[in-house]
Amino acid sequence: MSIPSEIYQRFHQELAERFQPLGWKYVKSGPLLKKKVKDLEFSISMGASWHNSRFSSRVRVAVWGYCKSISKKDCPASNVLWFRLAPSDGQDSEWWELIAPERYQYALEDVTSLLEKTILPLVKSFEEDYERTARQLALKGYSSPFLVCRPVSHICFANIRFTSHLFGDSLGQQSARNQYALMSDLTKKWIRNGIQTYLSQMEKARWYLSVNGGYLVDADIMYLVDHGMIALSPEGEVVFPPLES
């Protein structure tokens, strides 16, 4: 085993030791940490850089949450949230360097601190009041103080199916509308193009999804269109039509 690999493995093992007492299960083959709350499964994944060498061993950390009870119903996986941590010192947008002992220790402490400020409070909140937390995440999750996640411009309706699954399409649509209002113009254009593609190639898009989970159109966009929660106006603009009661 090379030195970068040894350092990388030591890092995720030491990180796991810090969170296992809190009920997180260490999956070495990931490597990742997992924890379940009812039908939600949260994971903390650690990825190594393809450019690691004897001069550099870098790691990045992402957090996922998905609803297992609907993962096979509408899409191969129903994401509730996703974000990637960023080093607090601002030296990189997503990578921590591990080769130098002082950088290794900084990475371990910084990642631990960021997880304690983000995913741990969220998981605890779900454990204490599942439905209240799900509703809060649906309506204001990406501006909530307990979630320091990737800019909203990079998120496409991450929790819509989960929200509709728990509370119905009306709240799911409200969540989608709130998220859409915060998206960048580029993301809004991508969503508009996705709706246009789906409306013109609906059978092909559904075939892609059903055969191998591939995406001709984002599955969340497909879900919103199929449920009448999003549409295009005659002028080609994205709208959120009134839902039938």
Q: What is the pLDDT of residue 153?
A: 38
Phi-psi region at 37: left, alpha or beta (left = phi > 0; alpha = psi -120 to 50): beta
Q: Which has the minimum average pLDDT: 36-40, 148-152, 200-204, 221-225? A: 148-152
Mean pLDDT value across residues 94-108: 90
pLDDT at 4 over 80: no
Percent of the chain with pLDDT over 70: 84
Q: What is the pLDDT of residues 30-49, one digit of tens each?
A: 889 999 999 889 999 988 77
Phi, psi of 98 (to 5 degrees): -115, -10
Q: What is the pLDDT of residue 76?
A: 45
Question: Does the pTM exceed 0.85?
Answer: no
Across 172-208, b (16+ Cβ under 10 Å) vs e yields bbbbbebbbeebeeebeeebbebbebbeeeeeebeeb
The dihedral over CA atoms of 11, 66, 126, 143, expressed in degrees to the nearest 10, equals: 90
Q: What is the pLDDT of residues 141-180, one digit of tens each?
A: 654 433 444 433 344 676 788 888 889 999 999 989 988 8
